[in-house]
Amino acid sequence: MADHNRHGLLRREYLKRASGIGAAGVAAGLAGCMGGGDSVDTLILGTWGGSWQESMIEAVSDSYEEDTGITMEYVIGNDTERFNRLVAQRDDPPIDVSQLDAAGLVRGENENLWLELTEDIVPRIADVPSQFKSDYWTLQIFAASALLYNTDTMDSAPESWGAYLNAEYEGRVGLYTEDPTHDLLAFALHQTDGEDPTAMDQAFDMYEEIVAEMDPVFITSSDEYGNRWQNGELDIARYWSARAASWGEDGPVGFSIPSAGAFTTNFGNAIPANTPEEKIDAAGEFINHTLQQDAAQVIAEQMYYTNPVPDIEYPEGVQDKLVQEDDLENLQVPPFDFIAENRSSWDQRVQEIIDEYN
């Protein structure tokens, strides 16, 4: 079912958007900074804390406040707790803009949580390729769910997810147990030569083989992943290319896109459907700011994520650490609906496998 993406539709759509933006895109960007929000004093953003919040303030909030005179406030938490709060308070949303991973955005769309995003509300959304948006949300950043490898112990980048089963790396392969979704999607691609990311039975066969034979390192947080890479404890793993680029500054880690393909990891914005009418323009204007050149550059420089708008230019020394144009040929946007429907059952099945062998 994923064959159309595998053969470069993502790249062609991205390039088509880049060639068609030009002056129209500049005009749309400027339009988002005019009007709207005159009667609004504060805007509340639901987002993640830590380094992401700090980067968002520098990249987006500071310029938004300066341009509009509106003060930003924040509700901090992980995707699940913030999403559940939105569901519980859908009639009176606790926030005006919600930042979630793409699976959360799709789940919210399926549960009618979001306001429709027209170009009148978010002008710059016209420049976002179709794979990175719907009628109700738009992505802000993406990276590759890539194959990470140890640059000290390996002479060249591995080209296959099958490296997970190379006996040479026994005891030094990582599995991300906090959320096994993207490990499983990668294994499904490997097992079907890139044809079917929904082949979960085959993915679990590979997962079980790795657990049974490779004595893997089970990783429970992003910080733990980074520490293990920086300490040279891993040879093979699967995680975000943006994180690998950051960790590679202090440790022996690189990333590659295997020949069977990989997925993007995606995070974006939506406006709750019952946001007060007087705040809608202000909320749309904030999302528009996230799709601007300056905001994209700050996020790329600090965290190595790529903005979905194709005409963004990145500083020298940063561009080569981002997802490259050629990478798009082997990148697929995840099957968001499929993930949203099955994620919790995958967690349980993974834990049963780990318990069986440990």
Shared-domain flag, residues 156 and 191: yes
Shared-domain flag, residues 292 and 302: yes
Mean pLDDT taken over the chain: 89
Shared-domain flag, residues 109 and 186: no
Place of tokens 């290319």: 241
DSSP assignment letter at 33: T
Q: Residue 281's pLDDT is what? A: 97
pLDDT category of residue 2 using cuts at 50, 70 and 90: very low
166 three-state secondary structure: coil
Q: Residue 30's pLDDT is what? A: 45
Shared-domain flag, residues 32 and 162: no
- Of residues 79 and 67, the one with the higher pLDDT is 67
Contact 8, 131 (CB under 8 A): no
Kindly tell me the burial class for residue 316, based on how many C-beta atoms sit within 10 Å of its own C-beta (0-12, 13-18, 19 or more): exposed
For the chain, what percent of residues have pLDDT higher than 90? 72
Say whether pLDDT at 29 is over 50. no
Say whether pLDDT at 76 is over 90. yes
Shared-domain flag, residues 221 and 338: yes
Say whether pLDDT at 271 is over 90. yes
Say whether pLDDT at 276 is over 90. yes
Shared-domain flag, residues 88 and 218: no
C-alpha closest to that of 318 among 304, 331, 307, 332: 304
Shared-domain flag, residues 80 and 105: yes
**Interval 298-318: pLDDT, tens:** 999 999 999 999 889 998 889
Say whether pLDDT at 330 is over 50. yes
Say whether pLDDT at 34 is over 50. no
Average pLDDT over residues 260-279: 95
Q: Residue 341's pLDDT is what? A: 85
DSSP letters of 85-137? HHHHTTTS-S-SEEEEEHHHHHHHHHTT-B----TTT-GGGGGS-GGGB-SS-
Range of 189's domain?
Answer: 143-264+334-357
Q: Residue 38's pLDDT is what? A: 54
Average pLDDT over residues 268-293: 97
Say whether pLDDT at 42 is over 70. yes
Q: Residue 103's pLDDT is what? A: 84
Shared-domain flag, residues 185 and 272: no
Determine the Cα angle at 61 with ends 60 and 66, to 5°.
105
Average pLDDT over residues 200-215: 98
Place of tokens 């590659």: 256
Average pLDDT over residues 247-269: 92
Average pLDDT over residues 61-86: 94
For the chain, what percent of residues have pLDDT higher than 70? 89
What is the C-alpha to C-alpha distance for residues 273 and 217, in angstroms, rounded to an integer? 42
Shared-domain flag, residues 68 and 132: yes
For residue 309, give both structure tokens.
């708008």
Shared-domain flag, residues 78 and 203: no
pLDDT category of residue 157 using cuts at 50, 70 and 90: very high
* CATH, residue 312: 3.40.190.10
What is the C-alpha to C-alpha distance for residues 330 and 321, in angstroms, rounded to an integer? 17
Shared-domain flag, residues 353 and 236: yes
Contact 181, 327 (CB under 8 A): no
Query: Do you know the residue count of the chain?
Result: 358
pTM for the model: 0.78
Average pLDDT over residues 68-88: 94
What is the C-alpha to C-alpha distance for residues 157 and 225, in angstroms, rounded to an integer? 19
Q: Residue 31's pLDDT is what? A: 44
Residues 6+ apart with CB under 8 A from 311: 17, 18, 21, 22, 25, 127
pLDDT category of residue 203 using cuts at 50, 70 and 90: very high
Q: Residue 16's pLDDT is what? A: 59
Specify the number of domains making up the chain: 2
Shared-domain flag, residues 119 and 162: no
